[in-house]
Amino acid sequence: MKIPFSPEQASTIAGSIDAIYLYIVAVTIFFTALIYGLVAVFAVQYRRKSPDEVPGAIHGHNGLEITWTVIPLIISMTMFIWGTVVFFHYARPPKDAQEIFVVGKQWMWKIQHPSGKREINELHVPINKPVRLKMTSEDVLHSFYIPAFRVKMDVIPGRYSSLWFEATRLGSYHLFCTEYCGTQHSGMIGKVHVLSQEDYQKWLETGSAANTPVPVSGQELFKTLNCATCHNSGSGALGPNLNGIYGKPVQLADGSTVTADDKYIRRSILKPADQVVAGYAALMPSYQGQVNEEQIMQLIEYIKGLKETSAPAPASATEV
Ligand code: CUA
């Protein structure tokens, strides 16, 4: 159902978000009208009609008490359960969602597609395909908002947040920053372009010679930062072998176990001393200030792609 004065519905989730929104608004209007209406009616009907009029004693009414407790309970539970179902759908991107990387920065959106193609304040996406944005910020809090898709998520410095949608209509839609982030906050806007799948492929390929796929950029960084000096899979390596670690549990020196996810890898690059892997000395220097958020994402994508069976990284820097 289309709500008047609201943006058009251009994603799979827009209809269900609007439906629950309309339901909550309708219930609110109904009860507001009922309560204020009754206040007015009762004020007239039960007004004091003569100076010596004394009202009758009230003895309570269990049936009435139960009714006005149970009905609101049922109504609020429908909002809660319905809202939770929609929220779960919204919060869990489908496994096959295509990933696009977003870095917020005062005052622009920097976007990179897995093929390496970049854009600023514009986001091109294919129609009828789930897309997951992996987002972080280089400075302060921002928030990524596409009204026509009914999706919005905070973009937070120092961590990753994600947002997914599946566009259902071709066209261009507004993109806003919706978290006050400084002087030019209101100018931190852009456009989301929904293309047909063929047009999206064509768009990705234009100027593709200049693009380096994200994991390949990560691999190049891995080399130039000399990561392989220690993280080679040879025996006696100074750093843990990274092949196949993504998503796996890692035993730390303090006895605890963590999962090797984006957050863990990011922290290991910036604050390696915080989570030292069992069996290794805390030798790794911090790369804080040497890699920006985009580069950290690229390194993570490279490490993600390392299979257990990947060729061992060269044993020393001289061979790189
Ligand atoms: Cu970025 Cu407001």
Domain ranges within the chain, ordered by starting residue: 98-210, 214-304
Rg (CA), the chain: 28
Minimal-distance CA residue to ligand 1 atom 1? 142
- Collapsing DSSP to helix, strand or coil, 287 comes out as coil
CA of 184 to the centre of ligand 1 (A): 8
Q: What is the model's pLDDT at position 316?
A: 43
CA of 175 to the centre of ligand 1 (A): 11
Q: What is the model's pLDDT at position 309?
A: 66
Q: What is the model's pLDDT at position 311?
A: 56
Contact, 148 vs 137, CB < 8 A?
no
- Collapsing DSSP to helix, strand or coil, 206 comes out as coil
Q: What is the model's pLDDT at position 315?
A: 43
**Average pLDDT for runs of 10 along the chain of length 320:** 80 93 95 96 91 85 93 96 95 91 93 88 94 93 95 92 94 95 94 94 80 82 81 75 82 84 85 82 80 85 78 45
- Do 214-304 and 98-210 have the same topology in CATH? no
Q: What is the model's pLDDT at position 318?
A: 40
Does the domain made of 214-304 have the CATH classification 1.10.760.10? Answer: yes
Cα–Cα distance, 172 to 191 (Å, whole number): 6
Q: Which CATH number fits domain 98-210: 3.40.50.170, 2.130.10.10, 3.40.50.300, 2.60.40.420?
A: 2.60.40.420
- The number of the ligand 1 atom at minimal distance from the alpha carbon of 155 is 1
Cα–Cα distance, 207 to 223 (Å, whole number): 26
Cα–Cα distance, 197 to 183 (Å, whole number): 37
Ligand 1 pocket, 102 CB below 6 A? no
